[in-house]
Amino acid sequence: MQRRLRLSVHLHTHTIMLYRRHLRIKVLQALYAWYTSGSDDLNKAEKQLLDSIDLLYKLFVYQISFLVEVKRFAEKRMLENKEKFYPTEEDLNPNLKFVENRVVALVEENSDFLRKEELFKINWADETDLIRLFYKKLRKFGPYMKYMDHPGRSLDEDKKLFIQIADQLFPGFDLLRSFYEEKSIYFVDGYDLVNILLIKFFEITGKNFTASRPLPGIYKHDRDGVNEDREFVRKLFRKTILQDEENTKILASKTSTWDYDRIPLMDIILLKMAIVELKEMETVPVKVTLNEYIELSKYFSAAKSKTFVNGVLDRLIKEFNEDGKIHKTGRGLIN
């Protein structure tokens, strides 16, 4: 069973970029589906893979929108409490700290966020029960209670609360997962990763995030505007499939101590992906490829796979270097 893998992101002014590790995982999952489904429509499979990555950003906007809606629900609840026949002192003078949280205010007024909400047709009108249950859970959440009890107010404190919500409350709120599952299976696959993106977004949100500032993106573009990450994914996926026969022969020649047909499919896919990276990705250092696929084998394969993958790749790298099959440029030359 796949173990939970904590994924990281880069931080830049206009982006909350994913590390390549997550993109490799998306390719790995797509290749596993390709090899187990018997599909032969490469263009369709590639499109599904790229669409699944694009949908991460949509889910990112959905999650921000959900938090804004929770804040609006809290405001509405306060107004209703004031209209009670016998309101309490707390009803008449509620703690406004959460509904006046500056992080939510910055997002709620952001024109790019509002435009994307409309573009993605995000509407919570029929999800009152979901929002109510989350708000109920939120009010019992330790960091929330501590936040509300603390008399001081600061942007850092406001940010910290939403970081804690994304890190501790969202992962265990299964009703929200189920809601997204009905929207798209890709939403469920990306749920935990998007929560990490939210954490990074809240960490970089500050006074310079104004109403007119665009929401940060999640993909890296080069100086010419080319989406480097998208090209990396497309090339890795496509070439692993197109070079399958050639790389099967390479692996069979390097696994004589094992019966090739008995090697787990996941290990074979990881090794074939690594071969493509070594020979085709000129800007990816050899050491990075080696370390990444060893790391992935720890989470997606059997207990002994790490040693197996490491051993095969060590031999392949030595042979490829001797035969002049590895050509690196730029960042790829880093040892």
Return the pLDDT at 190.
87
Is 310 domain-assigned? yes
Is 289 domain-assigned? yes
Residue corresponding to tokens 């499919």: 265
Confidence of residue 30 (pLDDT cuts 50, 70, 90): very high
How far apart, in Å, are the Cα atoms of 99 and each of 19, 51, 72, 213?
Answer: 34, 35, 7, 22
pTM (global) more than 0.75: yes
Is 52 domain-assigned? yes
Residue 268 domain boundaries: 243-322
pLDDT, tens digit, for every residue of 291-314? 999 999 999 998 889 999 999 999
- Structurally, the chain folds into a number of domains equal to 2
Domain edge (last residue) among 204, 225, 256:
204
Q: Is the dihedral of CA 209, 210, 211, 217 positive or negative?
A: negative
Residue 254 sits in the same domain as residue 316: yes
Which CATH number fits the domain that encloses residue 285?
A: 1.10.940.10
Is 59 domain-assigned? yes
Residue 80 sits in the same domain as residue 177: yes
Is 294 domain-assigned? yes
Q: Is the dihedral of CA 151, 153, 158, 164 positive or negative?
A: negative
Residue 198 sits in the same domain as residue 271: no
pLDDT, tens digit, for every residue of 206-236? 767 778 888 887 776 655 667 888 899 999 9
Residue 200 sits in the same domain as residue 250: no
Residue 273 sits in the same domain as residue 160: no
When pLDDT is averaged across residues 31-56 and rounded to a whole number, the result is: 93
Is 251 domain-assigned? yes
Residue 191 sits in the same domain as residue 256: no
Is 234 domain-assigned? no
Torsion angles phi and psi, residue 32, rounded to 5: -60, -40
